[in-house]
């Protein structure tokens, strides 16, 4: 019997379901918003660092002040991936593949907030949001051109172009720096963490944070490797393999697997913090129970509300959590400079939203918020490796179910 389902059946005997639940819109923002203007990277075209549709890449920069004047926080935007021509063509005509369709002002909240009461450790840093328009977590380097259609798979070049644009603006003299990101942006931090450190002064304190970016290479409920096959086609289409960690690609028989964080993490030397939900809703919906594995919709109600899950479905979710914790176990034990916050909320991305980052009712583990855990780790105030008890024990959760309209 497959070990995943064996564990699920064992857990089935002990799991009960009872937790408050709320559905929220992704567009829910705090009342007082900090809006930051877009900066286009005008020199990017010369180096071929272009979005899918050929438009210029961009970022949003809010300057630091006071004691944070020489400190920098860079946040990769998330937003899924594209792994074939139809999905990339569709993406190129949206804000996920073109700066032409992006909002010119972005809300800075959570880890990007400039309010000391909402973001106590990073509020006065230079904070940058890197816009995502390539569809491969800033790792691709290829062009598709059949004479009538042209797509630029230039995520790696975009990353380099933005960094080179920021270096003379003060990043090159950074004393402290944190590279972070959410979702596909969180995944990008795994692939650019050590490279980021190389751009900065040797005496700078450089660390990295992934929020909801620890995507597992796991089987779905029909025992297929749906996510693995998706990644393989993405890596091939966008010319990603040559930009993956070489220590990893030289070790694995299938080098494209190094796109998954679990295979590359051991080779990252820069201090790293992993923020993730053990029941990450994106992975729940796309890795564990993708549409192809649930053709009859048996999981539809469970995906919207765990209180509607059957005991067997809850047991399968508990087994998924155990799989994630087992995968992270070596990092948790042996990483002396690493940090973790693995909670049991049904959420995806918790650092950019104020209510999950740092509020009176924010999610907590051992009475510590995400902001406090990250700050304690970055500034080495105390050990910061927090792992939550299994669902439904955590009553501080903000269980966020995005409306079904993509990432």
- Enumerate the active-site residues: 183, 280, 348
Structure-token match 């004479």, residue found: 147
In sequence order, the 6+-apart residues with CB closer than 8 A to the CB of 24 are: 398, 400, 401
Q: Which residues contact 191 (CB under 8 A, 6 or more apart)?
A: 137, 138, 139, 243, 244, 245, 259, 264
Residue 304 tokens read as: 């919207």
Outline where DSSP puts E strands in 169-299. Answer: 176-182, 205-211, 272-277
| Token couple for 65 | 């002040």
Which are the contacts of 17, defined by CB distance < 8 A and separation ≥ 6? Answer: 306, 307, 309, 311, 314, 392
Rounded to an integer, what distance in angstroms lies between the CA atom of residue 58 and that of residue 193? 20
Q: Give 316's contacts (C-beta < 8 A, 6+ positions apart).
A: 4, 5, 8, 221, 288
**Other residues' Cβ atoms within 10 Å of the Cβ of residue 362:** 21
- Residues 194, 31: Cα–Cα separation, whole Å: 37
Look up residue 224 and give its two tokens. Answer: 């297929």
> Measured at the alpha carbon of residue 4, what is the angle toward residues 297 and 331, in degrees to the nearest 5?
115
């Amino acid at each position: 019997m497959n070990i995943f389902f064996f564990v699920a059946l064992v857990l089935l005997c002990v799991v009960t379901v009872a937790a408050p639940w709320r559905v929220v819109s992704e567009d829910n923002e705090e009342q007082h918003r900090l809006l930051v203007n877009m900066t286009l990277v005008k020199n990017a075209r010369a180096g071929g660092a272009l979005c899918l549709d050929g438009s210029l890449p961009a970022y949003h920069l809010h300057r630091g002040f006071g004691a944070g004047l020489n400190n920098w926080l860079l946040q990769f935007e998330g937003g899924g991936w594209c792994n074939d021509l139809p999905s990339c063509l569709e993406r190129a005509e949206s804000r996920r593949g073109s700066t032409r369709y992006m909002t010119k002002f972005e809300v800075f909240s959570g880890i990007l907030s400039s309010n000391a009461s909402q973001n106590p450790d990073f509020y006065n840093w230079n904070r940058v949001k890197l816009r995502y328009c390539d569809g491969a977590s800033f790792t691709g380097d290829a062009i598709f051109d059949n004479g009538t259609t042209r797509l630029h798979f230039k995520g790696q070049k975009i990353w380099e172009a933005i960094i080179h644009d920021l270096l003379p603006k003060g990043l090159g003299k950074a004393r402290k720096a944190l590279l972070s990101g959410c979702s596909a942006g969180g995944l990008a931090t795994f692939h650019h963490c050590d490279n980021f450190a190389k751009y900065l002064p040797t005496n700078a304190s450089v660390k990295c944070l992934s929020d909801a970016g620890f995507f597992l290479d796991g089987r779905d409920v029909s025992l297929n490797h749906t996510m693995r096959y998706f990644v393989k086609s993405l890596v091939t289409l966008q010319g990603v393999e040559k930009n993956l960690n070489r220590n990893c690609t030289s070790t694995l028989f299938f080098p494209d697997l190094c796109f998954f964080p679990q295979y590359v993490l051991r080779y990252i030397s820069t201090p790293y913090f992993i923020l993730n939900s053990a029941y990450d809703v994106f992975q729940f919906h796309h890795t564990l129970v993708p549409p192809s594995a649930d053709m009859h919709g048996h999981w539809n109600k469970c995906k919207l509300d765990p209180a509607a899950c059957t005991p067997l479905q809850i047991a399968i979710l508990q087994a998924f959590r155990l799989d994630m914790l087992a995968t992270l176990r070596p990092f948790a034990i042996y990483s002396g400079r690493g940090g973790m916050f693995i909670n049991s909320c049904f959420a995806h991305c918790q650092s950019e939203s104020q209510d999950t980052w740092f509020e009176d009712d924010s999610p907590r583990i051992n009475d510590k918020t995400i902001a406090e855990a990250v700050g304690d780790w970055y500034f080495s105030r105390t050990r910061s490796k927090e792992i939550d008890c299994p669902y439904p024990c955590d009553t501080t959760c903000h269980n966020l179910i995005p409306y079904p309209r993509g990432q």
